[in-house]
Amino acid sequence: MFLLPTSLFALSLLLLACNGFSFFYIYLPGYLKSSPEPIKLLPENLSSDKTVAKLVSSVMYAVKEENPPGVLKTHLSLVKKPNFSMVPIGKASVFKPKQARLSRQILRTLGLGTKPKGFFSSKVKTFFRNSKCKSRFFMTWISPIESLSDRELLAIESVFKSHPKACLVIVSNSLDSKKGSVVLKPFSDMGFKLIAVHPDFDYIFKNTYAETWFNRLKKGNINPGEVSLGQNLSNLLRLALLYKYGGVYLDTDVLVLKSINRLRNVISAQSINPETKNWSRLNNAVLIFDQKHPLLFKFIQEFALTFDGNRWGHNGPYLVSRVVERVTGRPGLNFTVLPPSAFYPVDWTRIRSLFQGPQNETHSNWLKLKLGQIQRQSYAIHLWNRQSKQVKVQEGSIIHHIISDCCIFCNSLKSKF
């Protein structure tokens, strides 16, 4: 070897060294063409490896953003798995025993295996086929049935008050039960079309980015974080339901004030920048989209690739805001951002003011003006339950008038509410 030229000797050493290491990458082939614009999943300036380690539990791969194809349905029917190119950026920090415990905990929380395979798809398909729905509404309730209050029931009433020929699917473990049937029976007795059905996450998430994310969650490879897993699953579930079926999604603390049948492919701003007059944040409490809409695809993709279970709102309102800001102006998406007055006429910081009755003549005049404004401009109103659930409805308040306008079982409801 010493007789070889110096450069050849160096090359030999390099080849020997490389033989002792293994370099790898994972590539899942798929149906999307890479866009020249990358998703920014990680901070632009990482100061140390420690920063990367903190991100590993929620973001395992650096992924290039991809544009959904023009005819998304055709491609989805041909490919069973979602596609994305993934390059490892660190080692998982979850050890197998902890992983197994986490997996069992998640499976218990999800209530998986309590219904036969195909139950969800069959029940929903039969419901839509037999009901001849003029419009489709979806709600989710991933909480015990005991937590269901008159507010949530009023939200259901408001749907049918404005859309008597609509169909409502409530995706819920607890409401798809004997107790749940009793709770919802008054609506069925009135001839309204609604069902509660236990979610089949595997079926709902199939052929989307959510499928891979959910499989990793079930195996304990994703840390659900400190934020309620039910809340984050609801964020994903609403997107996947609309992607699969199309229609209207409503949070259970949203009261519908008038028909929204004419709205199509819309999301609403929650707040406006007073200087630029552009929206500063969107919200996902009300979503209206066609089946297989490409923006929903983008939302689901963002959820799966940037999930963080420790940051409230990151997988919900902040998610839709990030994506819309990034894709605005791109051709082929065809959606509209409505002003806050459409669904969020009052911000969460001021929602309590709508529960107050008139204090004096000046306040009474303001209440009348605000009520009139909401009735003219708003399709629905978000009650922001986290801030208002314990607030009593005072007589003569704006909410008091709204209850009268959107209730069906009004006499019993007013006293309870």
Per-residue pLDDT of the chain (417 residues; tens, 9 = 90+): 444 455 555 545 444 444 444 333 333 333 333 333 333 333 333 333 333 233 233 333 333 333 443 333 333 333 334 433 333 333 344 445 556 565 555 666 566 656 778 899 999 999 999 998 999 999 999 889 999 999 999 999 999 999 999 999 999 999 999 999 999 999 999 999 999 999 999 999 999 999 999 999 999 899 999 999 989 999 999 999 999 999 999 999 999 999 999 999 999 999 999 999 899 999 999 999 999 999 999 999 999 999 999 999 999 999 999 999 999 989 989 999 999 999 999 999 999 999 999 999 999 999 999 999 999 999 999 999 889 888 999 999 999 999 999 999 987 655 555
Beta strands 84-88; 66-67: pairing state = unpaired
**Other CB atoms within 10 A of residue 241 CB:** 23
* Cross-strand pairs, 87: 62
d(CA 34, CA 219): 29
d(CA 209, CA 45): 27
d(CA 59, CA 224): 12
Question: Maximum Cα–Cα distance for the chain, whole Å?
Answer: 103
DSSP structural state of residue 328:
T
Does residue 326 sit in helix, strand or coil?
helix
Say how many Å lie between the first and final Cα of the chain, rounded.
Answer: 90
Element housing 178 (H / E): helix 178-189
* Short-list 208, 206, 203, CA closest to 118: 203
* b/e sequence 323-335, b meaning 16+ C-beta within 10 Å: bbeebeeeeebeb
Domain ranges for the chain: 117-344
The CATH class of 117-344 is alpha beta
The owner of tokens 């473990």 is 173
Element housing 39 (H / E): none
* Cross-strand pairs, 169: 138, 195
* b/e sequence 199-226, b meaning 16+ C-beta within 10 Å: bbbebbbbbbbbbbbbeebbebbbbbbe
> Do 340 and 268 touch, CB atoms closer than 8 A?
yes
Element housing 53 (H / E): helix 49-56
What are the helix (H) ranges across 71-172?
72-78, 96-110, 119-131, 150-162
d(CA 267, CA 286): 7
Beta strands 279-289; 193-197: pairing state = unpaired
* Amino acid 101: pLDDT: 60
* Amino acid 133: pLDDT: 92
Beta strands 279-289; 266-272: pairing state = antiparallel
d(CA 287, CA 270): 13
